[in-house]
Amino acid sequence: MTDTWLKKWNDRYGKKEFAYGTKPNEFLKEQIQKLEPGKILFGAEGEGRNAVYAAKLGWIVSAFDISVEGKSKAQELAKENNVTIDYQVGQLPDLDYTNEQFDAIALIYAHFPPNLKSEYHKLLDKKLKKGGMVIIEAFGKAHLEYRDKNPKVGGPPDLDSLFSTEELKSDFEGYEILELVEKEVELSEGIYHRGKGSVTRFVGRKK
Protein backbone atom coordinates (compact mmCIF):
# COMPACT_ATOMS: atom_id res chain seq x y z
CA MET A 1 0.00 0.00 0.00
CA THR A 2 1.24 3.48 -0.80
CA ASP A 3 2.35 6.14 1.67
CA THR A 4 -0.49 8.32 0.37
CA TRP A 5 -3.05 5.64 1.29
CA LEU A 6 -1.57 5.26 4.77
CA LYS A 7 -1.42 9.03 5.31
CA LYS A 8 -5.08 9.39 4.32
CA TRP A 9 -6.25 7.03 7.06
CA ASN A 10 -3.87 8.25 9.74
CA ASP A 11 -5.02 11.82 9.03
CA ARG A 12 -8.67 10.82 9.18
CA TYR A 13 -8.38 8.80 12.38
CA GLY A 14 -5.92 11.22 14.00
CA LYS A 15 -8.64 13.77 14.69
CA LYS A 16 -10.44 13.88 18.04
CA GLU A 17 -13.85 13.07 16.59
CA PHE A 18 -14.63 9.50 15.56
CA ALA A 19 -14.84 9.58 11.76
CA TYR A 20 -17.66 7.04 11.50
CA GLY A 21 -19.07 7.43 14.98
CA THR A 22 -18.86 5.06 17.93
CA LYS A 23 -22.02 3.03 17.29
CA PRO A 24 -21.85 -0.22 15.32
CA ASN A 25 -22.93 -0.51 11.72
CA GLU A 26 -26.63 -1.45 11.63
CA PHE A 27 -26.22 -4.40 9.26
CA LEU A 28 -23.35 -5.82 11.32
CA LYS A 29 -25.44 -5.40 14.47
CA GLU A 30 -28.40 -7.19 12.90
CA GLN A 31 -26.30 -10.11 11.65
CA ILE A 32 -24.02 -10.69 14.63
CA GLN A 33 -26.96 -10.91 17.01
CA LYS A 34 -28.06 -14.06 15.14
CA LEU A 35 -24.81 -15.87 16.00
CA GLU A 36 -23.40 -17.56 19.09
CA PRO A 37 -20.33 -15.65 20.28
CA GLY A 38 -16.97 -17.15 19.38
CA LYS A 39 -13.81 -15.78 17.79
CA ILE A 40 -14.31 -12.99 15.25
CA LEU A 41 -11.94 -10.98 13.05
CA PHE A 42 -12.68 -7.45 11.81
CA GLY A 43 -10.70 -6.30 8.76
CA ALA A 44 -9.85 -2.65 8.05
CA GLU A 45 -11.53 -1.90 11.38
CA GLY A 46 -10.41 1.70 11.76
CA GLU A 47 -11.53 3.22 15.06
CA GLY A 48 -13.08 0.03 16.41
CA ARG A 49 -16.81 0.77 16.65
CA ASN A 50 -17.85 -2.67 15.36
CA ALA A 51 -15.12 -4.62 17.17
CA VAL A 52 -16.01 -3.02 20.49
CA TYR A 53 -19.69 -3.81 19.96
CA ALA A 54 -18.88 -7.48 19.31
CA ALA A 55 -16.69 -7.63 22.41
CA LYS A 56 -19.58 -6.29 24.48
CA LEU A 57 -21.69 -9.22 23.22
CA GLY A 58 -19.09 -11.68 24.50
CA TRP A 59 -17.07 -12.34 21.34
CA ILE A 60 -13.30 -12.85 21.47
CA VAL A 61 -12.36 -10.05 19.09
CA SER A 62 -9.39 -9.56 16.79
CA ALA A 63 -9.04 -6.63 14.40
CA PHE A 64 -6.53 -5.17 11.97
CA ASP A 65 -5.93 -1.98 10.05
CA ILE A 66 -2.97 -0.15 8.51
CA SER A 67 -3.53 2.91 10.70
CA VAL A 68 -1.83 3.34 14.08
CA GLU A 69 -4.21 6.23 14.71
CA GLY A 70 -7.15 3.92 14.13
CA LYS A 71 -5.77 1.45 16.65
CA SER A 72 -5.28 4.21 19.21
CA LYS A 73 -8.90 5.33 18.87
CA ALA A 74 -10.14 1.71 19.01
CA GLN A 75 -8.23 1.07 22.22
CA GLU A 76 -9.66 4.28 23.67
CA LEU A 77 -13.20 3.15 22.77
CA ALA A 78 -12.61 -0.35 24.14
CA LYS A 79 -11.38 1.06 27.45
CA GLU A 80 -14.45 3.29 27.72
CA ASN A 81 -16.63 0.21 27.22
CA ASN A 82 -14.65 -2.04 29.58
CA VAL A 83 -13.73 -4.59 26.89
CA THR A 84 -10.52 -5.73 25.23
CA ILE A 85 -9.74 -6.36 21.58
CA ASP A 86 -6.61 -7.77 19.98
CA TYR A 87 -5.80 -5.08 17.41
CA GLN A 88 -2.89 -5.52 14.99
CA VAL A 89 -1.51 -2.83 12.69
CA GLY A 90 -0.15 -3.83 9.30
CA GLN A 91 -0.99 -5.46 6.00
CA LEU A 92 -2.89 -8.73 6.18
CA PRO A 93 -0.20 -11.03 4.69
CA ASP A 94 2.25 -9.85 7.38
CA LEU A 95 -0.04 -10.48 10.35
CA ASP A 96 0.12 -13.63 12.43
CA TYR A 97 -3.40 -15.00 12.13
CA THR A 98 -3.58 -18.77 11.69
CA ASN A 99 -5.70 -20.82 9.31
CA GLU A 100 -9.15 -21.74 10.62
CA GLN A 101 -8.71 -19.45 13.64
CA PHE A 102 -12.06 -17.66 13.49
CA ASP A 103 -15.76 -18.48 13.75
CA ALA A 104 -16.71 -15.28 11.93
CA ILE A 105 -15.10 -12.55 9.82
CA ALA A 106 -16.65 -9.11 9.40
CA LEU A 107 -15.68 -6.64 6.69
CA ILE A 108 -17.61 -3.42 7.19
CA TYR A 109 -16.57 -0.84 4.56
CA ALA A 110 -13.27 -2.68 4.24
CA HIS A 111 -12.37 -1.12 0.88
CA PHE A 112 -8.93 -2.58 0.32
CA PRO A 113 -7.00 -1.21 -2.69
CA PRO A 114 -8.40 -2.74 -5.92
CA ASN A 115 -5.22 -4.69 -6.67
CA LEU A 116 -5.40 -6.38 -3.24
CA LYS A 117 -9.14 -6.82 -2.75
CA SER A 118 -9.64 -10.37 -4.06
CA GLU A 119 -6.28 -11.54 -2.70
CA TYR A 120 -7.23 -10.34 0.78
CA HIS A 121 -10.68 -11.94 0.58
CA LYS A 122 -9.09 -15.27 -0.27
CA LEU A 123 -6.53 -14.92 2.51
CA LEU A 124 -9.30 -14.16 4.98
CA ASP A 125 -11.25 -17.19 3.80
CA LYS A 126 -8.34 -19.38 4.96
CA LYS A 127 -8.54 -17.88 8.45
CA LEU A 128 -12.19 -18.93 8.83
CA LYS A 129 -13.29 -22.28 10.23
CA LYS A 130 -15.54 -24.59 8.26
CA GLY A 131 -19.10 -23.56 9.06
CA GLY A 132 -17.88 -20.05 9.92
CA MET A 133 -19.65 -16.88 8.80
CA VAL A 134 -18.55 -13.94 6.66
CA ILE A 135 -20.45 -10.65 7.02
CA ILE A 136 -19.76 -7.86 4.52
CA GLU A 137 -21.23 -4.43 3.90
CA ALA A 138 -19.43 -2.07 1.54
CA PHE A 139 -20.28 0.43 -1.15
CA GLY A 140 -21.52 -1.18 -4.35
CA LYS A 141 -20.83 -0.48 -8.01
CA ALA A 142 -23.89 1.80 -8.28
CA HIS A 143 -22.62 4.05 -5.50
CA LEU A 144 -20.71 6.61 -7.61
CA GLU A 145 -23.98 8.21 -8.71
CA TYR A 146 -24.96 8.75 -5.06
CA ARG A 147 -21.51 10.07 -4.20
CA ASP A 148 -21.67 12.59 -7.05
CA LYS A 149 -24.99 13.91 -5.75
CA ASN A 150 -23.90 13.99 -2.10
CA PRO A 151 -20.17 13.74 -1.31
CA LYS A 152 -21.00 13.51 2.42
CA VAL A 153 -22.16 9.92 1.94
CA GLY A 154 -18.51 8.99 1.46
CA GLY A 155 -17.02 5.96 -0.21
CA PRO A 156 -14.25 5.46 -2.76
CA PRO A 157 -14.28 7.75 -5.82
CA ASP A 158 -13.29 5.01 -8.28
CA LEU A 159 -15.34 2.11 -9.63
CA ASP A 160 -12.62 -0.52 -9.10
CA SER A 161 -12.67 0.00 -5.33
CA LEU A 162 -16.41 -0.67 -5.14
CA PHE A 163 -18.00 -4.09 -4.67
CA SER A 164 -20.14 -6.09 -7.07
CA THR A 165 -22.21 -9.09 -6.05
CA GLU A 166 -20.41 -11.09 -8.79
CA GLU A 167 -16.97 -10.32 -7.31
CA LEU A 168 -18.01 -11.42 -3.84
CA LYS A 169 -19.61 -14.58 -5.17
CA SER A 170 -16.34 -15.39 -6.95
CA ASP A 171 -14.05 -14.47 -4.02
CA PHE A 172 -16.10 -16.57 -1.58
CA GLU A 173 -17.09 -19.37 -3.92
CA GLY A 174 -17.10 -22.16 -1.33
CA TYR A 175 -19.91 -20.61 0.68
CA GLU A 176 -23.60 -21.11 1.28
CA ILE A 177 -24.99 -17.69 0.40
CA LEU A 178 -27.48 -16.45 2.96
CA GLU A 179 -27.65 -12.90 1.59
CA LEU A 180 -26.10 -11.26 -1.46
CA VAL A 181 -27.58 -8.00 -2.70
CA GLU A 182 -26.83 -4.44 -3.76
CA LYS A 183 -29.38 -1.98 -2.41
CA GLU A 184 -29.98 1.64 -1.46
CA VAL A 185 -29.62 2.50 2.22
CA GLU A 186 -29.67 5.64 4.35
CA LEU A 187 -26.43 6.03 6.28
CA SER A 188 -25.84 8.03 9.44
CA GLU A 189 -22.38 7.00 10.64
CA GLY A 190 -20.20 9.77 12.01
CA ILE A 191 -19.27 12.62 9.67
CA TYR A 192 -18.15 10.59 6.64
CA HIS A 193 -21.17 8.32 5.98
CA ARG A 194 -24.19 10.61 5.78
CA GLY A 195 -27.06 10.21 3.34
CA LYS A 196 -28.32 7.74 0.76
CA GLY A 197 -25.85 5.33 -0.80
CA SER A 198 -25.73 2.02 -2.62
CA VAL A 199 -24.23 -0.84 -0.64
CA THR A 200 -23.43 -4.45 -1.40
CA ARG A 201 -24.19 -6.91 1.38
CA PHE A 202 -22.97 -10.47 1.70
CA VAL A 203 -23.59 -13.06 4.37
CA GLY A 204 -22.14 -16.49 3.74
CA ARG A 205 -21.40 -19.71 5.60
CA LYS A 206 -18.20 -21.56 4.70
CA LYS A 207 -18.90 -25.06 3.46
The CATH number of the domain where 87 resides is what? 3.40.50.150
DSSP 193: E
Beta strands 102-108 and 128-139 are parallel
Task: Give CA separation, 133 vs 15, 23, 124, 175, 197, in Å.
Answer: 33, 22, 11, 9, 25
Which stretches of the chain are assigned E, i.e. beta strand?
39-42, 60-65, 86-89, 102-108, 128-139, 175-189, 193-206
Please tell me the predicted confidence (pLDDT) of residue 93: 96
Kindly report, residue by residue over 110-161, the tens digit of the pLDDT.
999 999 999 999 999 999 999 999 999 999 999 999 999 999 999 999 999 9
The total number of structural domains in the chain stands at: 1
Q: How far apart are CA 120 and CA 112, in angstroms?
A: 8
Q: What is the pLDDT along the chain (207 residues), one digit of tens a residue?
A: 678 888 999 999 999 999 999 999 999 999 999 999 999 999 999 999 999 999 999 999 999 999 999 999 999 999 999 999 999 999 999 999 999 999 999 999 999 999 999 999 999 999 999 999 999 999 999 999 999 999 999 999 999 999 999 999 999 999 999 999 999 999 999 999 999 999 999 999 999
Please tell me the predicted confidence (pLDDT) of residue 1: 61
Burial track 96-105 (b if 16+ CB lie within 10 A, e otherwise): ebeeebbbbb
Cα atoms found within 13 Å of the Cα of residue 195, Cβ hemisphere only? 14
Please tell me the predicted confidence (pLDDT) of residue 6: 87
Structural domain harbouring 150: 3-206
As a dihedral over the C-alpha atoms of residue 71, residue 155, residue 140, residue 184, rounded to 10 degrees, the angle is: 110
Q: How far apart are the first and last CA of the chain?
A: 32
